[in-house]
Structure formats: C-alpha cells, structure tokens
Chain A
C-alpha cells in the first residue's frame, strides 16, 4: 500500500500539466479562475458537468477552449424540442455498396466525440434526454442491439438556461444524478468586462499557446488514480452524504425540514473523485478535508430534492449544503461539547 502515495517528483509532472492548462484557460477566458478550476476537476474526474447560466456568459467558449487545449474532439448539439434520439446518437441509413447491394450502415451521431456540448439540454424532449443516459453512464451507445463504445475520454458539458422555463423539459433526477457537477455561471464584474471589451474584438478568443498531448492527458488520468483518499476523509464524505438524508443521524434541522430525498451513493463517489481532482490541481498526493469542502457544493446542489416548504421559504440546495458543511465536524473527534480545537489562524 505504501506505493500508492505519490512522491513529490512523481506528482510534479502532472501538477505542471494542470498548472499549464489552468494558465491557458485563465488567459483565454477572463475572470473565471474558480470556474476553470472546477471544470478541470470535472474533466480530470471524468465526470460530466452541467453548466447553468444565462446566454452569452461563455459556456460554449469554455467547452471549446478545453477541447482545444486538450486536443480533444469537440461537438455541439443545440437541443430543441424536435430533436430526436437519432439526431444525437446516430442512425442506420440505407446505402448501396459497390456491388449494388443495399445495406444499413451506421452513421454515428454527434455524441461520438470526446467533448460534447449539449446546449440547452432541457429543451429536448424526455425521449431525447433519456437517449443521453447510457452515453453518460456507460460511455457507449446501443442501437439495434449493437453497442458501440464512445471515444475516450468522453465528457458531456451540458448547459441550460435557468430563466426560460416555457417549452422546456426539466431534466429527470436520474439524468441529473449523472452529472458530476452543476456549475453556476455568474456574470463577471465590471473590471473583467472592461478587459474583455478591450482584448476580445468581436468575441474572438485567442488561440491557446500550449496544448496537451493525448499521452499527457492519459498520464493525468493515471496520476488521478494514485491520489490517496485517507480513511478519515472518506468517512467524512460518507457522513456528509448521509447527513443530506432527512432523519439521518447527523442530519441538520434544515435538512429534516426541507429535504425530501438526499444524495445518492453516486454522489459520495463523485465527491471523492472530485476531491481527488482538487488535490491533484492543488499539487498534493492526498485528499484533505478542504478538498471535500471545495467540491461538495458543486456535487450536491443538484442532487438534493427539496420539498414545497423549501420553495416557500426560499431555501436552496446551496444554502442547505453550506449549512451542512459548516456544522458537520470533519474529523469526528467527538470531543466533549465544552472542549474544542481552536480554529487555525
């Protein structure tokens, strides 16, 4: 087991790759360092990311830039109500061969790519949305009894508009659960906007000055697998996810009041993977409690199903997760109530 802990010199190349990637992202897309870090963690964790924000905030640009930096194939689907599963997954078309024989030939859909941008995913019908389930979970497509694997790595970076609800089909919980993160795109401040106006004529993005090779990406994924998750941290993740269930032993009072269904075990796995990704991005060989705290919001805020009381009281999953993180003792020292470890300065 001792060989599972990376040495500093073993981790250094991966850390350097991450640093360069973030540097490129921050240089191309201004003012979204935290978001870039989070999306990169999602990529390193091989998770799908749901980007939620208003139009024009740079969702597509972010996905496209990641694809360029990582030299990955990138495709985009604009989801509409009349979009059919075949439009996403691909379909069999009748073709005549050189011998004059006709046969059904599979024409791959846009899902056969490394990075798929599913724009306004909530505008497609449930039938089309459900076509994404297998691709997101199994990384494969099954048509007419034939299962075809998707190219690796495969990421879905979906976006949805949170304000235009007319003519939309809210994503089912099963599909939401398959997204590693739900990341909110906020507006940038005036300084960043000024810089964008000054440096980005007609919205054209600068080309990346450095690109990651496929081998380097594979090496990053391999390093991710060696990031060590200590038992206390794993225990903390488990307690955190358990605490999202109303009536749980460590459930807080707001959770008991507002939550109908808590996070699934898949959420715990997602937190652990994302925390590993954050540790790698931070250049550490092991996961700490702070890694969990950084990624927990993005992992859990679309996995909690709140009741109507929460809607009346304007309680959001983000607030609930924030309170949970603040109240739950990470280490589980279980010291007496009148004894506490002083917070570090």
Chain B
C-alpha cells in the first residue's frame, strides 16, 4: 500500500511540498498505529488477567467484564497522545524527505528561504515509504486478544478450580434422608436432627476440591453418627420385639390353655408372668417406645386376669407394637442404615413358634394344684428357640449330675478295621492257628553294652525308673543263665 501511494504521488506529479506533508502525516499515523497496537496488547493482557482473576475469585455474574472492550477506545486515544510526543520534529522529517528524494539540501534550505525555483531541477517528488516490522507486535496483539477472549469465554467449571465444590450432592441427600428418617422414627430428637442438618449444610457449603479430605471426614462423621443411632435403635427394636413375641406366645398359649381347662390359679400365675414379662420389656422407655393399654397391664398384674375380649385387645396391642417396630426396621434397612443380619435377627425375633405356643399351652393346662406351675419353666418355654422335631421338644431341661446312664446291655457297634498299609509288602507264609511258641532257652538276646548295666548307668540321660515299672523292666532284662 505504501508503494502504491508512492507511485500514485509520482504519477500525479504532486509537488515536493505536498509529498513532504504526506510523508509527515504518514509518519504520524504509523507511530500512532504502532502505539495503539502496543497499548491494545497491554490492555488485552490486563483485561484478560483481571477477567481471569475475577472469575477465579468465584464471581458468577461476570458478563460485565465484556465491557472491557470499550476501554480499547481510551487506550487508542492515549496511544495517539503518547505517539504525538514521538513524532520527530518537522525539520527532521523534511531532512529525511530531502535525503530520500536526493534533493541535495534544497528542501532543507526551504527553512531559510523559498527554494521553489530549484524544484524544477529536482527529481519528481515521491513520498518515502515507511517500513514497520509489525509481525512481532501484531502477533503479540493476537495472543493478547486470544488470552482476553479465552478468559471471558472459559467455562465456569475451569475458572473455579480453587473454589470448586466436591460432587457430594448425592451423599448429602442420602444423609439428609437418613437424618429425616431417624427424626421421623423418633430415633433422634429434634435438636440433634437440627444439628445434623446444619452440619450437612455447612459441609456442603464448605466442601472444596482443594482439600477434599476435610469434607470426606465430616461426611463420614455424620454418616457414622446416623449409623450408630440406627444400630442402637435396631438393637432396642430387636429386644423389644423378642419380648413382644414372647408375650404374644404366652398370651396365645394362655388362650389355648384356657380352652383346655387351665386352672384359674395357673391362669392367674401366667397372667402375672405375662405382666412381668411386659413390664420387663419396658416398651415405653428408650428411643422406640411402644405402648400397651395400662388397664390391661393392671388387670394382668391383679389376680383377676383378662377376659377373652381383653386378651384379644392385648393380642392386638402386642401385634401393633411389633408392627411399628418392624416398620421402623424396614425403613432403616431401606436406607441401608442397618445391615441384613440385623434385619434377619429382627425378623427371627418377631416370629412366633407355633410348637412353643402349643407346648406351653399344654404345659399350662397340665399345671395342676397351683403351685406346680413354675415361672422359670414357663419362661424357658418362651425362650426356647429350637424348632426341634415333632412337637418341638420340651423346654430346656435342667442339668443333672446325679443319675448316671446305665451301661447294662450295651454293645458297641462292630466295625472292620482297614488293612494295615504295612501288609502290602508282606508275604503270607502260612497261617498258624496255635499259640506262638516261646524261644528256646539257649537262645538269648545279646545286648552288648547294656548287659549288667544299671538303669541310667553309662548313658548321658539318667532315666528314672519308677517303682511300678521296675518289675517289668527287671523281668525284661532277666537272663535265665545268670
């Protein structure tokens, strides 16, 4: 383009004065452009750095950073003002023009007087070309603009490296559900529930990829607290369910025994035992408190017992309590707060044994005379867990060491022993059916150094021969000839 202007000036035969002016303007413009590129480059770097810093600081509404592009205009104006100070004096520009056009000082002499008369003898005017090695400056501007654009358009997930949250939403939601379940089931009180909820919210807020261990530890702590509460509740539920099941079994047995003619004294005794059983269960205490109508418990404790209708109410109340506990355990299990073993234990505790019930009913109906109905036996029936064979067997019998089992007419079962492995290499010479013969008298074993040796004599180890063995040893070493 510079060349074309130069040739255009030549072709149009402009005067040296005009060409000089064009040259001065061209120098000014180029210097301004150069400064503008420099300042734009600097601004783009600053703009990009600010944008990046703001976005990394965690600001989300960063669209206003795009307004930085309007700062380019003041930067250009500032560059122009700065370039004005760099523009050489007009005398120097004229000197440069004079030299470029080989004017021989005629143009420079124009500062002292009008030398237009000499212009006819000079070469045609041409505006000198300016060469700006702009590749580096433009490349830097491109890089700076790219940096600024990248800083503006960078995805948010990449700009929040320092403040980046851990992906713990799912875990937090699960823990919140656990806390909510524990609260609903009255396993944790409202205050503790509120504390746990606050802790979860704080952990979620403070969670950072910069230091994930802290977050994980906090989550583990809350999870452990929930798990401990759930396990504690599960153990309590299992115990209470066991008690309720025993009470249910006893009540059912009492109904059956009553139909079989259970004595009133036995019924009263059983009712008292049932009341004692329910009182010992302490249903109303603990985190999972159940409730048995108090008038029923009162009637059970008194001598009058329960009528059939009251017994049905009691059975219904026991079943309802068991149902509540079972639901609680199911909820905890659904959230995996208790393991499968605990749930199975709970289910086992809630199962009534029909055989136990029938056996206990039989026992109750057979208890005659009032005092023969032993509470211990009754409870042992209730605690009996084995299903046993037909009838389920009786209650666990007390250990007795006095009556030995008679061994009369007992015969051990005969078994053929397996052949010895040493017989494999043996050869049968014959089978003797007579008693083995004793060795001849003149044949005696020679024992060398052991002959006449006293026990322990001559050996390193002094073997003590006990009196009970002494005779056998002496008999073994006895020599007929001596």
Contacts and interface: CB of A to CB of B under 8 A. Distances in A.
Interface string A281-301: 011111111110000000000
Contact of B91 (A8, A232, A279): A232
Contact of B102 (A4, A228, A288): A288
B113 A331 contact: no
B341 interface: no
A281 to B, nearest CB: 11
A293 to B, nearest CB: 10
Contact of A336 (B34, B92, B111, B112): B34
B366 interface: no
Interface string A1-20: 11111011000000000000
Interface residues of B, number: 42
Contacts, number: 130
A230 B97 CA distance: 14
A286 B105 contact: yes
B112 A2 contact: yes
Contact of B129 (A3, A228, A286, A342): A342
B367 to A, nearest CB: 118
B108 A286 contact: yes
A228 B117 CA distance: 15
A232 B92 contact: yes
A334 interface: yes
Contact of B132 (A7, A231, A338): A338
Contact of A230 (B100, B111, B129, B134): B111
A332 interface: yes
B108 A233 contact: yes
B229 to A, nearest CB: 76
Determine chain B's interface SS by DSSP, over half rule. Answer: helix
A284 B115 CA distance: 11
B137 A338 contact: yes
A280 to B, nearest CB: 11
A200 to B, nearest CB: 36
A238 to B, nearest CB: 14
B113 A4 contact: yes
A279 B105 contact: yes
B370 interface: no
Contacts of B103: 288
A283 B101 CA distance: 16
Contacts of B104: 279, 282, 284, 286-288, 290-291
A332 B113 contact: no
A188 to B, nearest CB: 29
A188 B131 CA distance: 42
B108 A344 contact: no
Contacts of A284: 104-106, 118
Q: Which of B93, B94, B98, B99 has the most CB of A within 10 A?
A: B99
Contacts of B137: 338
Nearest to A228: B109
Given A285-B109, A338-B132, 5 more contacts: A230-B109, A232-B98, A283-B121, A333-B96, A342-B130
Interface of B: 2, 27, 30-31, 34, 86, 88, 91-96, 98-106, 108-109, 111-115, 117-118, 121, 126, 128-134, 136-137
8 contacts: A4-B113, A5-B114, A8-B121, A288-B98, A289-B99, A341-B96, A341-B131, A344-B126
